[in-house]
Amino acid sequence: MCGRFTLHASELEILQEYELDQEIPGYETRYNIAPGQDILAVIHDGNSKRAGFLKWGLVPSWSKDPKIGYKMINARSETAHEKPSFKSLLSRRRCLIVADSFYEWQRNENGKQPKRISLQNRKLFAFAGLWDKWEHNGKKLYTCTILTRKANEFMQPIHDRMPVILPKEAEDEWLAPVRMDPEQAHGFISNVPIEQLDAYDVSDYVNSAQNEGDHCIRPLA
């Protein structure tokens, strides 16, 4: 799964990386982003790309209870095209979830060791995401989920799952405002190559979602 990540790039870096024309109101750097929080995503509105915040934890438009979002922070890319919660979103509501690293916890004899994982060749990258709009009694929620895949050889000793990280050249195709058949979207994700990753141990300070700041990403002595 993917249950915690970081985004401490500057707003200018994000605007330049994703060729965005508008500023990002409310943006601030984050070192310990957790489920249930608002996370930065890029969508295509049919005219242009724009960035904004979506709540992490998908609430499908048809759901009666918004609390379902806490169970839907991730979607398995292998089966998302078969699931009612994700099938239609693969066709029409794809997004980029911007990050510069993510955390995973590796089991060892002492419990679990948190690790920070990033790309070797890129500072900023995007998880493949899906989003939806939920509305009930005048209340609106815009929420999202991160697609995951089976871990590659690098990640397998750490965890058996990992987020789908889009290569730079695949981002615009994923985001394009065109309908994809769910099977087509599944094939697209299945064929996305996995870029080279780096990982190092960090303090269990990051275990609590209430903890923030660059202490979260400092290498463990």
**Coil/strand/helix, residue 137:** coil
Reply yes or no on whether 2 is catalytic: yes
CA pair distance 15, 13, nearest whole angstrom: 6
Name the residue type at position 157.
Answer: P
Query: Does residue 1 surpass a pLDDT of 80?
Result: no
pLDDT score of 33: 98
Q: Can you list the domains of the chain with their CATH numbers?
A: 5-217 (3.90.1680.10)
Distances (CA, A) of 128 to 3, 88, 89, 189: 14, 15, 12, 8
Helices (H), the chain: 11-17, 84-92, 168-175, 182-190
> In this predicted model, which residue has the larger pLDDT, 126 or 177?
126
112, 106 contact by CB (below 8 A): yes
Catalytic residue, chosen from 2, 95, 144, 216, is: 2
CA pair distance 80, 162, nearest whole angstrom: 15
**Average pLDDT value over all residues in the chain:** 94
Reply yes or no on whether 28 is catalytic: no
Contacts of 210 (CB under 8 A, 6+ apart): none
The helix or strand, by DSSP H or E, that contains position 171, with its residue range, turns out to be: helix 168-175
Rounded to an integer, the average pLDDT of 123-127 is 97
Catalytic residue, chosen from 17, 95, 104, 216, is: 104
Query: Does residue 136 surpass a pLDDT of 90?
Result: no
Q: Backbone phi, then psi, for 204, in 5-degree steps?
A: -70, 5
- What value does the CA radius of gyration of the chain take, rounded to a whole number of Å? 17
Q: Per-residue pLDDT tens for 163-204?
A: 999 999 999 999 999 999 999 999 999 999 999 999 999 999
Question: Which two tokens mark 50?
Answer: 């724009």
Position of tokens 């990540």? 5
Query: Does residue 103 surpass a pLDDT of 90?
Result: yes
CA pair distance 75, 71, nearest whole angstrom: 10
Question: Which two tokens mark 3?
Answer: 């249950």
Query: Alpha-carbon dihedral of residues 146, 148, 151, 154, nearest 10 degrees?
Result: -30
pLDDT score of 138: 82
Rounded to an integer, the average pLDDT of 132-153 is 94
